[in-house]
Amino acid sequence: MAAEGLPAAAEKLGRAVTATPETRLESVRAMSGLFREAQPRAMAEEGVFRNLLEILMGASSEIELAYKDSCELVDLDTCLLLIAECFRCLRNACVECAKNQHVMRQLGLISTSVHLIKLLHSIQIKEELLLTALRCSLQFLGNIAAGNEDSQNSIWKCAFPDLFLTCLMYSDEKIVAYCCMVLFTCLNSEKVRELLDPGNLTVALHVLKVYREQLESEWSVTLLELIMEKVSEKNPVTSEEINVFIRHADFLAGCFQEKCEAVLKLTSAADAEDEQALVTIRLLDVLCEMTSNNGQLEHLQALPGLLETAIDTLRLTHLAGKQAVNVFTATHTMTGQEEISHPAVGFKSHLIRLIGNLCYKNKANQDKVYELDGIPLILDNCSIDDNNPFVNQWAVYAIRNLTEQNERNQELIAQMEEKGLADNSALESMGLEIEKRDDKLILRSARKKPS
């Protein structure tokens, strides 16, 4: 039935282009309603979208006139209502309809929309009608980009990075969420490289800032995966790129320090996909990679609180695994054929890796781990654990970094072994042994036994 009303609605819309704002608004609303159904969307002709474009451009001109020439004759509220309704109509028309996406793009509706979003942002008023217009405009861009590479490329060319930065900085959560939707819809491998270019990394970090402040960003995990790809690349990193990551290292470390306890939610099977916990895991992965890079290590070693947070989190997860059976409980019952897919698998290994990195040739951090009783904690986590692949290797690495040219740390481990507090077999697996020399216990590399 809706399709039967399309010709009349299209004709009415055409006449409304030169009519009063109220008449235009009524005509666009009627078309929006029709486009909620698939058949009218499929039957829509180019003229409908041309008229919508003309109405949008007319409303845009009226707003510019009002703010440039202080024209009091312009009804701003009606203009904003009309803009929002046009975008609703266009948004609806794009749903599962590549034909309409193509026509709109060819008519220049993407560039017009981007221009209009910038204009709405510039008028600097905080009323709900403006926010609604911005939300609808971003929803339209998301829908015209959905499954359409040409539209994605067109949006990226017009909007990146300025428009994304503008919208990501809004206090309105819906505007930020819709902006993230558009950004991630447009991404491909080539655009990822552009996104993580030193000059554009601010866009990526603003998405993380949303997570940090609002705790509702579903895009943070994906974005951290992209950053991981960048910081773990085997290609040489330029000095400019290192400086960019150093400038933002405080932010990433701060995110981890603030949200790290969220990972404890993963002790419950019901929370295995908790967004905060998943982001915490990816933040730890990124910090491990960043501290593996000599250009970034020194800065991260000096960050206040990062090492303490890593040790505290290791202690909390280790305790959680002992109090009840969960993903943080050490287990070695697998046959080798199974594959554990829980997101927290390897988390304790990576904490130990981070601690080891932060103590590499750094006496102050070596001593800090001693003072925080971190050495017994690491030794207690060095047995084979299917929930933490390579934990033994990372424990070896961490202990070696903690004891290098640090006699107090060496003596502590030696005394623990003598008192039975450290597992001698664990030390042997690390390639270490205790030697008594002049009534003093020395931790040293194990001598190779003849075969």
DSSP letter at 169 equals T
- Mark whether 327 and 426 lie in a shared domain: no
Residue 260 has pLDDT above 50, yes or no: yes
Highest mean pLDDT among 316-325, 328-337, 378-387: 316-325
Report the pLDDT value the prediction gives residue 215, as an integer from 0 to 100. 44
Show Cβ contacts of residue 60 under 8 Å, excluding neighbours closer than 6 positions.
83, 112, 115, 116, 119
Which of 387, 405, 423 terminates a domain? The answer is: 405
pLDDT in tens, 5-53: 899 999 999 999 999 888 999 999 999 999 999 999 999 999 999 999 9
Same domain, 273 and 367: yes
Percent of the chain at pLDDT above 90? Answer: 47
Evaluate if residue 448 carries a pLDDT over 60.
Answer: no
| pLDDT for res 445 | 67
Looking at residue 26, its pLDDT comes to: 95
Looking at the fold, whether 316 and 350 belong to one and the same domain comes out as yes
Domain count, the chain: 3
Report residue 236's pLDDT band, with 50, 70 and 90 as the boundaries. low
Looking at the structure, tell me whether residues 262 and 368 fall in a common domain: yes
59-118 pLDDT tens trace:
988 888 877 766 565 678 888 999 999 999 999 999 999 999 999 999 999 999 999 999
130 and 37 part of one domain: yes
Amino acid making up residue 107: L
Calculate the alpha carbon distances from 268 to 179, 321, 326, 341, 352 in Å. Answer: 32, 11, 7, 15, 23
**CATH classification at residue 108:** 1.25.10
Instruction: Mark whether 310 and 392 lie in a shared domain.
Output: yes
pLDDT of residue 449: 43
The verdict on 359 and 398 lying in the same domain is yes
Query: Do 347 and 394 meet the contact criterion of CB atoms below 8 Å apart?
Result: no
Residue where a domain terminates, one of 109, 132, 161: 161
Single-letter amino acid code for the residue at 344? A
In a domain, 184, yes or no: no
pLDDT at 335: 46
Does a structural domain hold residue 276? yes
Q: Are 414 and 375 in a shared domain?
A: no
Q: Average of pLDDT values for 392-400?
A: 90
Task: Report, in angstroms and rounded to the nearest whole number, the Rg of the chain calculated over CA atoms.
Answer: 29
Residue 435 falls inside a structural domain: yes
* 156 and 31 fall within a common domain: yes
Q: What is the mean pLDDT of residues 280-302?
A: 88
pLDDT value at position 328? 92
CA torsion 427-430-431-433 (nearest 10°) is -20
Interatomic CA distance for residues 54 and 449, integer angstroms? 85
- Full residue range of the structural domain in which residue 417 is found: 406-451
State the pLDDT at residue 227.
73
Contact 6, 30 (CB under 8 A): no
**Interval 371-394: pLDDT, tens:** 999 999 999 988 778 889 888 889
Does pLDDT of 140 surpass 50?
yes
Mean pLDDT throughout 345-366? 96
Q: What percent of the chain has pLDDT over 70?
A: 81
Tokens of 120: 């709405």
- Token duo for residue 416: 């623990």
Query: 139, 161, 183 — which closes off a domain?
Result: 161
Which residues does 323 contact at the CB level (< 8 Å), separation at least 6?
none
| pLDDT surpassing 70 at residue 427 | no
Pick from 252, 251, 236: nearest CA to 295:
236
Q: Clarify whether residues 6 and 122 are in a common domain.
A: yes
In-domain check, residue 185: no
101 part of a folded domain: yes
Instruction: Answer for the pair 167, 161: CB distance below 8 angstroms, yes or no.
Output: no
